[in-house]
Amino acid sequence: MALVPAIIGAYLLMQFGIEKLVNPFRDVPREFNPDKIWFLRATWRCFYFLSFSTAYWFLRQTIKNQKRINQMELEGLQAEREKAELEKGLVRSQNALLQAQISPHLLFNTLNFIYNSVQDVSPKASEGVLLLSEVMHYALQRVHEDGKTDLQYEVEHIEKYIALNQLRFSYPLHLQMKCSGRLQGKIPPLLLLTFVENTFKHGDLTDPTQTACISVANQQDTLHFSTSNKKRKHHGGRGYGIGIQNAKTRLREFYDEQDYTLTIDEDEQRHAVHLKIKLT
Q: What is the pLDDT of residues 237-280, one digit of tens each?
A: 455 567 788 889 889 989 999 999 999 998 888 999 999 999 86
pLDDT of 258 reads 93
For residues 256-274, b (16+ Cβ closer than 10 Å) or e, as one string? eeeebeeeeeeeeeebebe
In angstroms, the CA 187 to CA 152 distance is 10
Whole-model pTM over 0.75: no
In angstroms, the CA 209 to CA 257 distance is 37
**Within 10 Å of residue 154's Cβ, how many Cβ atoms?**
26
Stronger pLDDT, 80 or 1, i.e. the higher one: 80
Query: At CA 209, angle to CA 206 and CA 215, rounded to 5?
Result: 80
With residue 20 as reference, give the H or E element that holds it: helix 3-22
In angstroms, the CA 106 to CA 128 distance is 18
Output DSSP code: residue 231.
B
For the segment 28-71, what is each residue's pLDDT rounded down to a tens digit? Answer: 666 666 777 777 777 777 777 777 787 888 888 888 888 888 88
Q: Bridge-partner residues for 222, per DSSP? A: 278
- CATH number, span 171-280: 3.30.565.10
